[in-house]
Amino acid sequence: MDISQVTPREAYELLEQNPTAIYLDVRTEAEFEAGHPAGARNVPVVFFDPGARQPLPNPEFVATVKRHLASTTPLVVGCQSGGRSQHACELLVQAGYTDVVNVHGGFGGARDQTGRVVPGWAAAGLPVEQGQPPGRSHADLKSR
């Protein structure tokens, strides 16, 4: 599946240019709380099971997104480096979302195909906030 890829800086510019665009952070609640792009909403695509020591899919991921965001909403989807968010983008496109981009480099950074480091959102000096903002945290979104 061909999903458009953007750097964190390009993601920021997309969000600035389009006030209807939403940054969807698909990292865990703990990762989100520690720091996330300002204005982001959090719906984890996976949960980490300490007993199994592996990620488990969030069975409510698509349903939670659908309850809050129309399928035509421009979505900028990010995680820590771009892998989980790529998977989330694929799930969203399969569910009928039409304007989805993946943030390669995510919040923490990644390497491109040539091995060059793509700085993450935080390292790029883009706006960051911490905590679980009301109405944008996973706890709030899953309960409504």
| Catalytic site residue from 62, 79, 88, 126 | 79
Q: What 3-state DSSP class applies to 5?
A: strand
* Contact (CB, 8 A) for 80 and 103: no
| 142 vs 144: CA distance, rounded Å | 6
Strand 36-37 and strand 4-6: the pairing is: unpaired
Among this protein's residues, is 89 annotated catalytic? Answer: no
Measured between alpha carbons, how far is 131 from 106 in angstroms, rounded to an integer?
18
Closest CA to 84 of 121, 46, 30: 46
List the catalytic residues.
79
